[in-house]
Amino acid sequence: MSPSGSGEPMSTQEVADGMNAYLWEEYRKGRMSPKPTVLDHRFVSAYEAGRFWWPSPHYRRAFRTVLRVATDAELGFRPDRKRRAPGRNTLSPTAKLDIHPPVHDTEPVQRRAVVVLLAGLAAGQIVDRASLAQLVAGSALVDPGTSLADHWRSVASEYGHSYLTSPRQQTMRDLAMDLAILELTPPRAMSETTKLALHEAGARISALLAMACTDLGYGLEARHAWLLARRLSDASENADVQLWVRGQEALLGIYSGRPLSIIERLTVNSLKSAVDPSSSGTADLLAAQAETYALQGRRSEALTTLGELNQAFDSLPDPVIADVDSVYRWPEHRLRHTESFVHSVVGSTRDAARAQDLSLKLYPSTRSVSRCQIEMHRSLSLVRGGDVAVGIRHATSELESLTPGRRGRFVLAVAGHIASAIPPSEASRPEARDFRAYLSTLESSD
């Protein structure tokens, strides 16, 4: 009966509240890990309606405790769906719960349940793939009238736009969720064309997941996601996607601290196989190569590669250049961003300032992280040019103006180059010591 004293049966929300209290107490006493996710009425309703049929062990214990039954069988739970009695709800009628949600709530329940399973990604929790498979098995993932290929192309395209401005933590969870659903979609008869399209979508989603993990500092997860992205891009048989994945991996390797020799090898090998100079992936690889040469102190090679990048940019189709809101495209601000980085690192102060001014004019105001990176380049140029105190003050001011949630590896890695560029003779200055201490604080809270 309801704990409210109304004399009515427990509602699904009251069951969820009771389960939350039980799970929290189990976590507090060290009997379960990680920290439990808050449940609501939709989670309970999904089992009541027979949508799912075999909760994980701690959820089964919570159900039994709250509903005061001794066995899973009394609640209708079975490890094998086929063994349930025909027409019987998952929860026993003796539970006397109110019945909801409406039909249109079914997919949000499913997505919420998948999020529960994947929410431990950042904490290193192992995803229960068997349970995840149950959650997506038999579900209608595609709206009527939409092909499976078109659905996942649309999903990948939407992420290409939202990735640039959405919070990283939420983006990472959403990408992981959709990637898991895509991978665990029940086998079905499909054409070879559809299979290739799904591989392409999976490659893009995997790469974006790796990129989000890189910015958040989740190196292990990023490496696994890059491996998956490469495998799926190869399976897609789409040369443009293959180059884009490898180009992004090379570019982001600079921010994740991967050895420059490995990044160089990746760019060289990938460019050898590039047959289309008008590909955004080719531009990515050339940009990564130029930045790598600059960081290695190979000034002449870095500037030569910048020239090759400009030629590649001139050959890009208009749609690739015109779309400033998609991570899959290559608008002019990406060219100027690369020039800003390379010239700042090699000490070409005048060329760096020109590229920085152009970049800031071209970047949309919503691209706060990229704009902050450009300002970090400006600080790096100032420090290399001898204006150490001015460069440090500028970098500190820009970092403080950026929303804390945006200060990920993409910004802090560039700030680290500024700290490394401070000459030994200036290292004892109060500004230099304070800046290093500030970066250390940001790194520890990252």
Q: Residue 250 corresponds to which tokens in the numbers above? A: 């090379």
How does residue 410 score in pLDDT terms, banded at 50, 70 and 90?
very high
Average pLDDT over residues 383-387: 93
Higher pLDDT, 4 or 240: 240
What pLDDT, on a 0 to 100 scale, did the predictor assign at position 171? Answer: 87
pLDDT in tens, 193-231: 888 999 999 999 999 999 999 999 888 888 888 998 999
pLDDT in tens, 309-353: 999 999 999 999 999 989 999 999 999 999 999 999 999 999 999
How does residue 86 score in pLDDT terms, banded at 50, 70 and 90?
very low
What pLDDT, on a 0 to 100 scale, did the predictor assign at position 78? Answer: 66
Helix 388-401 vs helix 368-384: angle between axes, to the nearest 10 degrees?
Answer: 170
Q: How far apart are the first and last CA of the chain?
A: 46
Contact 194, 148 (CB under 8 A): yes
Mean pLDDT of the chain: 81
- Phi, psi for residue 188 in degrees, rounded to 5: -150, 160
What pLDDT, on a 0 to 100 scale, did the predictor assign at position 414? Answer: 96
Higher pLDDT, 281 or 20: 281
pLDDT in tens, 151-164: 889 999 999 999 99
What pLDDT, on a 0 to 100 scale, did the predictor assign at position 2? Answer: 63
CA 246, 247, 251, 254: dihedral to nearest 10 degrees? 40
Q: What percent of the chain has pLDDT over 90?
A: 50
Average pLDDT over residues 131-149: 53
What pLDDT, on a 0 to 100 scale, did the predictor assign at position 37? Answer: 63
Average pLDDT over residues 58-76: 83
What pLDDT, on a 0 to 100 scale, did the predictor assign at position 109? Answer: 39
CA 91, 18, 27, 63: dihedral to nearest 10 degrees? -10
Q: For residue 156, what is the DSSP state?
A: H
With a cut of 60, say whether residue 240 has pLDDT above it: yes
Higher pLDDT, 70 or 234: 234
How does residue 18 score in pLDDT terms, banded at 50, 70 and 90?
confident
What pLDDT, on a 0 to 100 scale, did the predictor assign at position 167? Answer: 87
Contact 256, 219 (CB under 8 A): yes
How does residue 88 score in pLDDT terms, banded at 50, 70 and 90?
very low
Which residue, chain included where needed, has tokens 């038999």? Answer: 138
With a cut of 90, say whether residue 272 has pLDDT above it: no
With a cut of 60, say whether residue 166 has pLDDT above it: yes
The whole-model pTM stands at: 0.69
Dihedral sign for Cα 98, 103, 107, 108, please: negative
With CA atoms as reference, report the closest residue to 333 among 346, 318, 342, 321: 321
Q: What percent of the chain has pLDDT over 70?
A: 78
pLDDT in tens, 116-127: 444 444 444 444
Query: Could you write out the DSSP letters of every residue in 30-63?
Result: TSS-SPPPPP-HHHHHHHHTTS-----HHHHHHH
Contact 430, 396 (CB under 8 A): no
With a cut of 90, say whether residue 253 has pLDDT above it: yes
